[in-house]
Structure 1
Amino acid sequence: MKMMEILRILYNENEILGAKVISEELNNRGYSLGERAVRYHMHILDEKGLTEKIGYKGRKITSKGIDELKKGLIYDQVDFTYSRFQEKMYNVSLDYNTSKGLVIVNLSSINEVDSKDIIDEFFKNGLAVSQKYNFYEQNNETYIETVCGTTIDGVFQKNGIVTKPLYGGLLKVEDYTPINFIEQISYEKTSITPLEAFTSHDNTSVLDVANDGTGVIPANFRIIPASKRDDAIKIINKLSKIGVGGVIHVGEAGKSVLGIPVPENMIGIVIIGGVAPLCAAQESGYDLNIKLADSFAEYSQMSLVHKNVKLPLKKCSKKSKQNVSFVLNKIYNLISNVDYDIESFTGNVISNISYIEKTFVDDAIEILDNLYKNKQEYCMGNNYALVDEKDDKIGIATICSLTIDGILTNYGINVNPVYSGILDIYKKNRRFIELVSYKGSSVDPHEIFIKKNMHDINGSLSNDGKILASVHTVPYVSRDASKDILDIIKKSGFDVLKLGQTNEYMYNAKIEKYHFGYVVPGGLNPIAAIKEEGIPVDVKSIERIMDYSSFEEL
């Protein structure tokens, strides 16, 4: 853990640091580690290739070290992501009286330099947190930094306003009027920042909003105490005068905002995602690698694109068309309707249903068959069904791994779906490199992973790939009974990748005390494999209850 903290310090400072500086910073973070001990730990990090010694100046983190920091210890990363936002907020020093100080910036590498023209043009529409940005070249790469909306949280905090970022997601806009959030992920218990999860060209339509006022934009949501509402509005107005804005709505005490419920005596505030200009470039076909809330920049030294450009959105509709739907509510309703009998192999199971063009059906089934025959353990049984035939498309149903939760529930066992993730497979080694909590999410994270092409199912056939998997916990008192049931349902192909103990790290996913965990392969692994073969797929997970008899065997 101390070595991970050293890597964090080197990564956050982004410069060469000596043992003395690192020791002091570790002490500030609650770790008592002298200079000699720091040198010892850094020597180990050097040997692992995670840091590099630069003469007598000290060490810098390597690209391998950054990878290990971001993905290696995933049980730490899911807590670190939110902590990182809090750390960034604390270090904001922007003064709205002088227009000077540090702001949080999103960083993106851009392969095509001419994408700058698209981004410049997009800024004219005002769909940004600020009209300031940085463009620069480093190591033969072009980078752009845009102001992150969390900067406003940092200013709130500096002025004594408690602010808690809750969600990042996608906001529907009609005729320039914000309507409601259609997707969101919680900032807590996730290894991938929420807006980063949704920044792909087929998720947003910021160009449509800019051009005709209707589409989907990235936005984030936080709450502050209702008693500070007037103070917050004053700060927002002062920030607007120096070019920091993007505030879409400030709510009322205890009233839901754009479909998201707000606790009593708190108010909700919605701010456009600082990545909106970068999304515009993505939608135009440019390849960007977006990193949210990645670093800091001195606001007074950033380049101004256009002056006096305001957010073009109108006031929010008073009542959202629909409240945000949380995926856990859907999950608990579905697992409550599973009545699969483990003795007769009959009854209802949960299905995922994804859609392809009819012309690809034979190829798709062959891919399913190949995956099952070569890596049965990565599938939830060898069953599929063709459903919902319409026009030129047809649905392929696979059995969802949450069916196991439903079976255990029928036997009086309290199951908690905790994380959806990406499990890295390398020979006999397995570890989660991404985890997103089901809690606070409106969508099954596996759908996001597939959209962002974060899997490598075909690579896993040769034990060097990435599969979809999920983590579930059960009170330890029912472990023996659960194990007996899990042993029986193996006959149906409903198998787990690992059955754990209490207070354990399962493939680096932390299991809490008094519970044990089990890891199951994602029921969408076969569908992800189809997509990897170039077949377009409209992925739908955790879709509906289906009778097991309606499935065919491969």
Structure 2
Amino acid sequence: MPQETDRKMMEILRILADRSEVLGAKTIAEELRRKGYNLGERAVRYHMRILDEKGFTERIGYAGRQITPEGIKELGKGLIYDQVDFIFSKFEDMMYHTTLDPNTGLGKVVVNTSSFRYDKDLMDIIKNIFKKGIAVSPYINITAPSESEDYENQMEMETICGTTIDGMLLKSGIPVVPKYGGLVKIEYHIPKRFTELIAYKKTSMTPLEAFTDREMTSVLGVLEDGNGDIPANFRLIPATAQDDAITLFSKLQEIGVSGLLKIGEPGETVLGISVDEDMVGIAVIGGIAPLCAAKEAGYDVNIKMAENTVEFSEMELISTPKHIIKKSDPEDGKKVKFILSKAWNLINKVNFDPEIQKGHVIANVSYLDQKDFEEGLNIFDQVMASRPEYCTSKYFQILPGPDGKKGLATVCSLTIDGILTKKGIASTPQYGGILETKGKSPRFIELTAYDGSSLDPHEIYLSKGLTSVGNSLKSGGRILASLKEIPYVARPEALDILEDMGDAGFSILKMGKPSELVYNAKVERYHVGIVAPGGLNPVAAIKEAGIPVEAKAVETLMDISQMEEF
């Protein structure tokens, strides 16, 4: 019951945030009914009073309530298990509201909304990417300052999102399954394969959002010499719909919408992604590619994916594109490597025995420049000494690195899955996340599943600068943590094993009860959740201090006898 109450209150906050106006109980109750919640006006008022008390909403006279800045923050990180479900439903909602008619060019399309301060060089970069056809469409909406206004003002740009393609397929009567957002490697202007992927149904952030950091994309490289990594998304349709889809893409291209990288044959692997024999894979450029190029150039750009729908006929042509990306080659047989496959193989090799404190563990390895190493090591030591509970283990190792760099090896939290498995307890890594430690009870504010991701989630969070491990040393902050599940019947035995692991220098933040939310994260029925701190937390603190560090999670197997003990 408490979980359901929280969910209803989150929906009320979403309604207030979406409408951006003062709403009364009657209007909110009507909106809730559309979402499947049968709540009367009296019940809505009851929930609103609770939200008022928490500071998430405020009453405006007799007109109703509006959401507060604190409410907007809470909406972004509240019920994290609900947010994971919400992300995919958001895309389904946007698909449903796509109404573009490819024959007339009229109707609504899904757009991404990006904000930044006006800069002529920044605009030139964006226009140049559109000019080379590295986008879904060259049509945009832009809110820019007039000549009499201060050009330091913030401006917004709406670009057509790849979800528009999914909506168009659906409106044509073609079943479509959005699967992944990720990065596609371009070599000499030819799309080769996806190098990174995140499944739409397995994350609290939109998949392409995970890859918008300037260190991850290289759209400018494609512009300069035809080589780089660009954002793209991938969906599946039935094999029987292939001809209709090809016809649709042809019509869309005539009105300036496409971004098509490849549409496969039935059962054909598409840019490294395996496809069932009765399905067809389709890869499309991410609509945020021009803005990613601006970020690569060092500009501060805030990108929000699939944010709204707008009338296509009211959008303006920013540039007539001359497409530089060529037709893809036949598949070379190389497939996308998912992190969980690598993890399972390393988990299988873990043989560390906490009772005798001997054996092999999974290690993360992070590299720093020689000149930064001493300063980084001091920060590393500070975290290990002051907050050992935020580190997977007390063991670490200094290693030689490539190109004169030095490496820091730390124990990966997936080692815990290996230890439990070797004891006959099925332990499954579910999510990597960001755990907020501020307040009475910690809670996850971001989650990305290991299943369906090509990168360890903690590497993504590090690249996006989402941690604040340094703050957590004194008060509350945001640390890396992971959620794993075991069968509930194994809980008593697992408690004994985890106690032995604690004696051996390992840290466990919490073990839940059967089917219980653990730090706001949902656990499957008949299972128990275990939360462990991330082995990269000391490394995250180094990065927060502005020291360049290349972090690699789930990297290798190490004999703990060869590691140092802090």
TM band (smaller chain)? over 0.9
Q: Which residue of 1 aligns with 2:385?
A: 373
| Superposition deviation, residue 428 in structure 1 | 3.5
| Superposition deviation, residue 210 in structure 1 | 1.9
Find out whether 1:206 has 2:219 as its counterpart: yes
Q: 1:72 aligns with which of 55, 78, 89?
A: 78
- Structure 1 residues 62, 374: CA separation in 2 closer, same or farther (over 3 Å shift)? same
Q: 1:478 aligns with which of 490, 498, 518?
A: 490
TM-score w.r.t. structure 1 length? 0.96
1:283-298 superposed matches below 5 A: 283-298=296-311
1:179–1:321 Cα contact (<8 Å) kept: no
Deviation by residue 1:131-154 (Cα, 9 ceiling, x = unmatched): 111111699532111110101111
Higher mean C-alpha displacement, 100-109 vs 388-397:
388-397
Q: Which residue of 2 aligns with 1:146?
A: 159
Q: Which residue of 2 aligns with 1:35?
A: 41
1:246–1:311 Cα contact (<8 Å) kept: no
2:388–2:507 Cα contact (<8 Å) kept: no
Q: 1:299 aligns with which of 312, 329, 339?
A: 312
Find out whether 1:94 has 2:100 as its counterpart: yes
- Structure 1 residues 385, 167: CA separation in 2 closer, same or farther (over 3 Å shift)? same
Q: Which residue of 2 aligns with 1:448?
A: 460
Matched to 1:257, the amino acid is V
Q: 2:329 aligns with which of 314, 317, 338?
A: 317
1:42-441 superposed matches below 5 A: 42-53=48-59, 58-114=64-120, 115-136=122-143, 141-307=154-320, 309=321, 311-320=323-332, 322-441=334-453
1:485-500 superposed matches below 5 A: 485-500=497-512
- Between the aligned residues of both structures, percent identity stands at 53
| Superposition deviation, residue 449 in structure 1 | 0.5
Higher mean C-alpha displacement, 168-177 vs 64-73:
64-73
Matched to 1:42, the amino acid is M
Per the alignment, in what secondary structure is the counterpart of residue 426 of structure 1? Answer: coil
Higher mean C-alpha displacement, 539-548 vs 103-112:
103-112
Deviation by residue 1:325-353 (Cα, 9 ceiling, x = unmatched): 01111111001001112222111111000
RMSD: 1.8
Q: In structure 1, what is the Cα distance between the partners aligned to 2:40 and 2:123?
A: 46
Q: In structure 2, what is the Cα distance between the partners aligned to 1:42 and 1:137?
A: 37
Matched to 1:97, the amino acid is N
Q: Which residue of 2 aligns with 1:6?
A: 12
Matched to 2:305, the amino acid is L
Q: In structure 2, what is the Cα distance between the partners aligned to 1:90 and 1:12?
A: 17
| Superposition deviation, residue 191 in structure 1 | 0.3
Q: In structure 2, what is the Cα distance between the partners aligned to 1:544 and 1:511?
A: 28
Q: In structure 2, what is the Cα distance between the partners aligned to 1:133 and 1:15?
A: 26
Per the alignment, in what secondary structure is the counterpart of residue 44 of structure 1? Answer: helix
Higher mean C-alpha displacement, 236-245 vs 139-148:
139-148
2:133–2:325 Cα contact (<8 Å) kept: no
- Structure 1 residues 57, 311: CA separation in 2 closer, same or farther (over 3 Å shift)? farther
Q: In structure 2, what is the Cα distance between the partners aligned to 1:532 and 1:126?
A: 36
| Superposition deviation, residue 534 in structure 1 | 2.2
Per the alignment, in what secondary structure is the counterpart of residue 421 of structure 1? Answer: strand
Q: Which residue of 1 aligns with 2:469?
A: 457
Deviation by residue 1:369-423 (Cα, 9 ceiling, x = unmatched): 2112211100122221122344421211111111111111111110110000000
Matched to 1:197, the amino acid is A
| Superposition deviation, residue 72 in structure 1 | 1.0
Q: In structure 2, what is the Cα distance between the partners aligned to 1:397 and 1:341?
A: 20
2:182–2:233 Cα contact (<8 Å) kept: yes
Q: Which residue of 1 aligns with 2:522?
A: 510
Deviation by residue 1:259-313 (Cα, 9 ceiling, x = unmatched): 1111231100000000001001111110011111112222111221123x25432
Per the alignment, in what secondary structure is the counterpart of residue 508 of structure 2? Answer: coil
Deviation by residue 1:34-75 (Cα, 9 ceiling, x = unmatched): 234334433433443333455665444333222222211101
Matched to 1:271, the amino acid is V
1:112–1:286 Cα contact (<8 Å) kept: no
Q: In structure 2, what is the Cα distance between the partners aligned to 1:63 and 1:145?
A: 24
Deviation by residue 1:237-257 (Cα, 9 ceiling, x = unmatched): 111111111011111111111
Matched to 1:318, the amino acid is P
Q: In structure 2, what is the Cα distance between the partners aligned to 1:53 and 1:98?
A: 46
Q: Which residue of 1 aligns with 2:3?
A: none
- Structure 1 residues 224, 333: CA separation in 2 closer, same or farther (over 3 Å shift)? same
Deviation by residue 1:437-472 (Cα, 9 ceiling, x = unmatched): 111000101001001110001000112210000000
Q: In structure 1, what is the Cα distance between the partners aligned to 2:415 and 2:34?
A: 47
Q: In structure 2, what is the Cα distance between the partners aligned to 1:19 and 1:137?
A: 37
1:427–1:463 Cα contact (<8 Å) kept: no
Unaligned runs of 5+ in 2: 1-6, 146-151
2:217–2:229 Cα contact (<8 Å) kept: yes
1:113–1:142 Cα contact (<8 Å) kept: no
Matched to 2:18, the amino acid is N
Per the alignment, in what secondary structure is the counterpart of residue 341 of structure 1? Answer: coil
Matched to 1:227, the amino acid is T
Q: In structure 2, what is the Cα distance between the partners aligned to 1:225 and 1:321?
A: 22
Per the alignment, in what secondary structure is the counterpart of residue 417 of structure 1? Answer: strand
Matched to 1:306, the amino acid is S
| Superposition deviation, residue 368 in structure 1 | 2.0
1:428–1:463 Cα contact (<8 Å) kept: no
Q: In structure 2, what is the Cα distance between the partners aligned to 1:59 and 1:100?
A: 36
1:386–1:397 Cα contact (<8 Å) kept: yes
Q: In structure 1, what is the Cα distance between the partners aligned to 2:117 and 2:474?
A: 31
Per the alignment, in what secondary structure is the counterpart of residue 94 of structure 1? Answer: coil
1:328–1:438 Cα contact (<8 Å) kept: yes
Q: Which residue of 1 aligns with 2:148?
A: none
| Superposition deviation, residue 14 in structure 1 | 4.3
Q: In structure 1, what is the Cα distance between the partners aligned to 2:485 and 2:424?
A: 14
Q: In structure 1, what is the Cα distance between the partners aligned to 2:276 and 2:69?
A: 42
Per the alignment, in what secondary structure is the counterpart of residue 513 of structure 2? Answer: strand
2:491–2:528 Cα contact (<8 Å) kept: yes
2:202–2:452 Cα contact (<8 Å) kept: no
1:224–1:267 Cα contact (<8 Å) kept: yes
| Superposition deviation, residue 111 in structure 1 | 3.0
2:366–2:409 Cα contact (<8 Å) kept: yes
Per the alignment, in what secondary structure is the counterpart of residue 551 of structure 2? Answer: coil
